[in-house]
Amino acid sequence: MKKANISFHKWRKTFSIALLLAAYCLLPAFSSAQDINFSQFYELPLLRNPALSGLFTGDLRITSAFRNQWGSVTVPYRTQALGAELKFGVSSVDYLAIGVQVTNDVAGDSKLGKTAILPTLTFHKSVNGDKDTYISAGFLGGPVQQRFDASKLTFDDQFVNGSYSATNPTRQTFGNTNVTYYDASVGLLFSSVFGNDVKYYIGASYFHFTQPKVAFSVANDVRLNKKLMFNGGLAAPTSDMDKVILYADVFSQGGSTQTQGGLMFKHDMVQEDVDDAVSLSAGAFVRWNDAVMPLLKLDYYKIGVGVTYDVNVSKLRSASNARGFSSSFLPFVNRKQQFVQ
C-alpha cells in the first residue's frame, strides 16, 4: 500500500510538472482560455466593455467577486476581482467616468498566477440633449504580471529508489518565472430607454488590441490574442415592485467563440425609490456548451451580495461529477447624489 501511495504521489507530481511545462511553452499562445470570465459577468462591467464604466444610477460604484474553480477535479483555481467607478459631470447631460479594475488569479501547485491593474476612462455623450440616451466610448489599460513558483514543484529526478526528497537535485531549470506586460482595450456602447421605462444597451469591445508579448521566455515572440466582444442588456419593469433583467455576451478570441447570457427576476421587498430598495433577485445564466449557472442575490439599498454555482455540462462533466465552481460577488453603489437619472 505504501508503494502504491508513492506511485500515485509521483504520478500526480509528474502530471503537474507536465502541465506547467506545457504552460511555460504554450500557455501564452492559447491565452484566450486564460481571460478571466466570471459566472456573474454582468456584475463586473469593466471586464465586458470599458464603455460600461459609469453606466449606473449614482456617482460611485464598487464591485468585487471571488471564484473558486475546479476543486472537484484538481487543485482549485481561485480568482478575485475588484473594480471601482466614479462619475463627473462635464455638462448638464454629458459626463466622464474614471475607474480601475484589479484582478488576481492563482492556480495549481506551482501557484501559476496573473495580476492586472487596469485604470479606465469613459466618456458618455447625450444623443438627444436629455439623460436617457447616450453613446459611450471607453478605454481600459495597464500593467499585467504573470508568474509561477518553481520551488513548489517536484520532478521525476527528485525521486530516488521510489522516495522523494526536496533536497534531491533536479536538471529542470527555468530562465524566467515572472513577466510583466502592458495591456489595452477599448469599447463603444449605445444605451437608451423605450416604452414603459425599459432600459437597454448594446455595445462592442476590443480587448488586447496591442497584442502584448506574454511569453515567460524572452526568446519566444508569443503574443496575447485579441478578443472581440459584443454586449447587450435590458431591464424591463413588470409591475411597480418587479422587473426582469437580461444580459448577454458573445466573444471571439484565438479562433474560439463563446456565448453567455441569461435572465433574472427582481422583486422589491422594501422600496424607497425605483433604484433604492431592498430587493431579492433569482435567475439563471448559461455559458453555451459549458455550464448552467443559477444565481441568488440580495440588494440592501446601496449594498448587494450574491452567489452563483456552475453546474458543469461540458466534456468535463464526468470528471467533475457535474460540479464546476462557486462564485460570490459584492457590489456597492452610492446613490446619494445622482448625476444620471
Q: Is 23 within a domain?
A: yes
Of 10-24, 56-70, 307-321, the range with the highest mean pLDDT is 56-70
- pLDDT at 270 (0 to 100): 93
Split at pLDDT 50, 70, 90, the class of 22 is very low
Q: Which residue has the cell 447616450?
A: 134
- Report whether pLDDT(14) > 60: no
Whether residue 214 contacts residue 31, with contact meaning beta carbons closer than 8 Å, is answered with: yes
Percent of the chain scoring above 70 in pLDDT: 79
46 found inside a domain: yes
pLDDT at 9 over 70: no
- pLDDT digits over 210-223, tens only? 999 888 777 777 88
Q: What is the pLDDT of residue 134?
A: 97
Residue 2 has pLDDT above 50, yes or no: no
**Mean pLDDT within 182-209:** 96
DSSP state of 213: B
Name, of 83-87, 273-277, 297-301, the range with top average pLDDT. Answer: 83-87
Quick check: is 289 in a domain?
yes
So what's the pLDDT on residue 180? 92
Q: Is the pTM of this model over 0.85?
A: no
Range of the domain at 264: 2-334
As for how many domains the chain has, the answer is: 1
pLDDT tens per residue, range 75-98: 668 899 999 999 999 999 999 999
- Specify the pLDDT at position 17: 44
- Which range, of 63-72, 179-188, 190-199, 253-262, averages the lowest pLDDT? 63-72
pLDDT tens string 128-181 = 888 899 999 999 999 999 988 777 777 777 787 777 777 777 777 677 778 899
Residue 321 CA to residue 275 CA, distance in Å, equals: 40
Say which CATH number the domain at 219 has.
2.40.160.40
245: which strand partners? Answer: 235, 264
Residues pairing with 328 in the sheet: 66, 307
Average pLDDT over residues 293-302: 92
Query: Who wins on pLDDT, 329 or 230?
Result: 230
Confirm if 56 and 337 have CB atoms less than 8 A apart: no
Closest C-alpha among 122, 113, 131 to residue 84: 122
> Is 142 part of any domain?
yes
What are the strands, taking DSSP E only, across the chain?
60-69, 77-89, 95-107, 112-126, 134-147, 159-160, 163-164, 178-194, 198-207, 227-237, 242-253, 256-273, 276-287, 291-300, 303-312, 323-329, 332-334
Query: Would you say residue 45 lies in a domain?
Result: yes
Q: How many of the other CB atoms lie within 10 Å of CB of 230?
A: 16
C-alpha cell at 231: 454586449
Q: Are 335 and 302 in contact (CB under 8 A)?
A: yes
335 vs 7, 8, 166, 197, 293, CA distance in Å?
59, 56, 56, 19, 29
Element (H, E) at 4: helix 2-26
Higher pLDDT, 251 or 167: 251
DSSP structure string for 98-117: EEEEEEEEEETTTTEEEEEE
Distance CA 286, CA 202 (A): 19
Whether residue 341 lies inside any domain: the answer is: no
Q: How far is CA 317 from CA 34, 252, 291, 292, 311, in A?
A: 20, 24, 9, 12, 9
Grid coordinates standing for 59? Answer: 456617482
Q: Decide if 340 is inside a domain.
A: no
Residue 339, domain member (yes or no):
no
